[in-house]
Amino acid sequence: MTALVTKDYLVDILEDAHSRTMELLDGLNQDQMMGPQLPVVNPLLWEIGHVAWFTEQFILRKLHGLDPIRPDLDKVYDSIAIEHSVRWDLPLLQLNESLTYIDQIKNKIFDRLEEGKADEADSFIYQFATFHQDMHNEAYSYSRQTLAYPAPKFATTRDLTLTEADTGPYPGDADIPGGTFRLGSERDAPFLFDNEKWAHDVTVYPFKIAKAPVTNEEFAAFVADDGYHRRDLWPDVAWGDLKASGQQHPIYWISDGPAKWLTRRFDQVIDLPPYEPVVHVNWYEAMAYCEWAGRRLPTEMEWEVAAASEPDGVGLGRTKRPYPWGHERDTTGKANLDGRSTGCVDVAAFAGGDSAWGCRQMLGNIWEWTSSTFEPYPGFSADAYRDYSEPVFYTRKVLRGGSWATRSRMVNNTHRNFFTHERQDVLAGFRTCARHNWN
């Protein structure tokens, strides 16, 4: 059951998501709004209209039964029905037309909400529509990186305060004992996505997980040891593509002499920050590194245990934290989320956000690949947007955590993200586990 929230809260988050969209579009010209035709990006102009259409579709049309504002847009902005490759050739709304369309939707939406608490249906779908826009806003962020556009300028960057203690590496493993754990979301969660249904008991065997994600410095050692040239390190399915592409290092790294690296961050080339987490690596690169290091990726169960469980003096306690640091959602001073930085920070930062086991940055900075395939939990059922999870089960790998561009209002310890194995454009890295003795 979705917790009831107020009209004011729903209006605030919808307006905030729209403001973030406008920040991400600021400074882009018409050509940049379309961009080149690439398999990993959409035309930004198409995405803006799609997000507006989605909001109208699921709030005004499906929930409230209103007639469409623009029936013709169903053939332009339905992401399920319209192939990715043709989105550059559609009769897209221009930006000013999209903004007019958005204003029409918002006015109708706000008129439907009564003062005070919204009902359960409104509380769920208004938040879901906002989180859908948040996800696209994150995609706009890494699309700007993919296309070498200037870094976006977020009002929230003023909220990032780091000290000397927030710099450097954070080495070592956390020892997690065995026990029983409730994986997933309970029925009384304030909000959940359908793929988190439902919490169920799982058996946890003791494991060791890195306190921080793998850093650029650590990954550079893998590159220096011919990691991209060693057939024994790579899954079979990835090796042919790797050889065909000629890739020899993470996609945005630039060699600057022996054992020296630069990297491109948006439209700027900078020295590779040694203690930031490696980012823009795909699942295969993460697996190859683990093979080289004698480590492994955590399962998503292990990741959630390390983020959410607490010790009880003997093993795993039954208390489960919604956030690594506890039960309060406020992430200020605890995580690099919400665009507080337009990039990663060192893995030592935000000690105040540690989990009960001393694992740092379980939320924020980067999404983290796990070894797990994206599958339904026992008792799964699709929510109002039936195509959110179900069509892609068994075809993606699970990522956990959230990146610097992820909105804190939509992520917690049970949130499951999912991408195909080869994606390098997303803001993803990884942390590792020690191999079990029985492996």
Q: What does the pLDDT read at residue 259?
A: 86
Query: Which mean pLDDT values do the consecutive 10-residue runs of the chain (439 residues) have?
Result: 91 96 95 95 96 96 95 96 96 96 95 89 95 97 97 80 92 96 96 97 97 98 98 94 94 94 98 98 98 98 98 91 96 94 96 98 98 97 94 98 97 98 98 77
Domains of the chain: 7-153 (1.20.120.450), 154-439 (3.90.1580.10)
Residue 196, pLDDT score = 98
What's the chain look like in SS3? CCCCCEHHHHHHHHHHHHHHHHHHHCCCCHHHHHCCCCCCCCCHHHHHHHHHHHHHHHHHHCCCCCCCCCHHHHHHHCCCCCCHHHCCCCCCCCHHHHHHHHHHHHHHHHHHCCCCECCHHHHHHHHHHHHHHHHHHHHHHHHHHHCCCCCCCCHHHHHCCCCHHHCCCCCCEEEECCEEEEECCCCCCCCCCHHHCCCEEEEECCEEEECCCCEHHHHHHHHHCCCCCCHHHCCHHHHHHHHHHCCCCCCCEEECCCCCEEEEECCEEEECCCCCECCCCCHHHHHHHHHHHCEECCCHHHHHHHHHEEECCCCEEEEECCECCECCCCCCCCCCCCCCCCCCCCCCCCHHHCCCCCCCCCCCCCEEEEEEECCCCCCCCCCCCCCCCHHHCCCCEEEECCCCCCCCCCCCCCCCEEECCCCCCCCEECCCEECCCCC
Looking at residue 385, its pLDDT comes to 92
pLDDT number for residue 159: 63
| Whole-number pLDDT of residue 146 | 98
Handedness of CA 385, 390, 393, 395 (dihedral sign): negative
Q: Is the full-model pTM beyond 0.85?
A: yes
